[in-house]
């Protein structure tokens, strides 16, 4: 997993729960990286699992909620780091529709060895989109948070529903309907 995900995650933890919590979850996780990440490095996904598990135990918030919250945080931080990508789109559905054909291509240029989820578009209208999320990591709640924050960025909202097509969350169908 790319280091930028780890660095952004730890920044979120610090901003929401404090530096002491960051130090505690790194120490409790007994990471081979010792919790030292660079945005361009690549790290074992199991380190993220350990950090999330220990954060959940420390702050008494379930892992799924933490992953969702991180997705919302990540949209904002990536938007600040790469405003040109978001500025290319005038509405959230257009941005979401372009994940595979534009955004992930941009990400691959920056991080050639990144293992990205795939989003297969099933149907798109002016007010909705249906797609299949696929990832061996099963971080569909991260995608859920990103989607909702995308709508918020465009001063809009949506009803986002999902159905696990595989019980481990590695394949999930999202239905997104823009409100109003």
pLDDT at 180 over 90: no
pLDDT at 39 over 90: no
* pLDDT recorded at residue 40: 86
CA 61 from chain centre, in angstroms, equals 18
What is the average pLDDT value for the chain, to the nearest integer? 94
Q: Which one, of 11, 51, 48, 14, lies nearest residue 29 by Cα?
A: 51
Average pLDDT over residues 102-112: 80
pTM: 0.93
* pLDDT recorded at residue 112: 81
Chain length of the chain: 180
Q: Which residues pair with 178 in a beta bridge?
A: 158
Q: Which one, of 18, 28, 15, 34, lies nearest residue 54 by Cα?
A: 28
Q: In this structure, what token pair is assigned to residue 72? A: 């919302």
pLDDT band at 33 (very low <50, low <70, confident <90, very high): very high
* pLDDT recorded at residue 161: 98
pLDDT at 102 over 80: no
pLDDT at 114 over 90: no
What are 48-88's pLDDT values in tens digits? Answer: 999 999 999 999 999 999 999 999 999 999 888 888 888 88
* pLDDT recorded at residue 56: 98
DSSP secondary structure letters along the chain: -BHHHHHHHHHHHHHHH-HHHHHHHHHHHT-TTTT---TT-B--HHHHHHHHHHHHHHHT--HHHHHHHHHHHHHHHHHHH-HHHHHT-SSHHHHHHTIIIIIHHHHHHH-TT----EEEEEEE-SSEEEEEEE-TT--HHHHHHHHHHHHHHTT--EEEEEEESSTTSSEEEEEEEE--
Average pLDDT over residues 102-114: 80
pLDDT at 111 over 80: no
Q: In this structure, what token pair is assigned to residue 101? A: 């054909």
């Amino acid at each position: 997993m790319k280091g930028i995900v780890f660095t952004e995650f730890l920044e979120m933890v610090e901003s929401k729960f404090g530096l002491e919590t960051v130090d505690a979850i790194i120490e409790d996780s007994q990471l081979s990286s010792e919790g030292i990440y660079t945005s361009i490095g690549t790290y074992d996904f199991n380190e993220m699992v350990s950090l999330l598990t220990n954060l959940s135990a420390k702050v008494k918030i379930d892992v799924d909620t933490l992953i969702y919250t991180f997705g919302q945080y990540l949209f904002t931080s990536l938007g600040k780091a790469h405003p040109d990508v978001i500025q290319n789109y005038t509405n959230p559905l257009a941005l979401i529709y372009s994940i595979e054909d534009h955004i992930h291509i941009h990400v691959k240029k920056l991080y050639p060895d990144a293992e990205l989820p795939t989003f297969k578009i099933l149907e798109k209208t002016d007010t909705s989109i249906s797609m299949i999320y696929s990832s061996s990591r099963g971080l569909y709640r991260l995608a859920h948070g990103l989607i909702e924050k995308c709508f918020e960025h465009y001063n809009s909202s949506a009803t986002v529903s999902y159905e696990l097509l595989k019980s481990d969350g590695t394949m999930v169908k999202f239905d997104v309907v823009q409100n109003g």
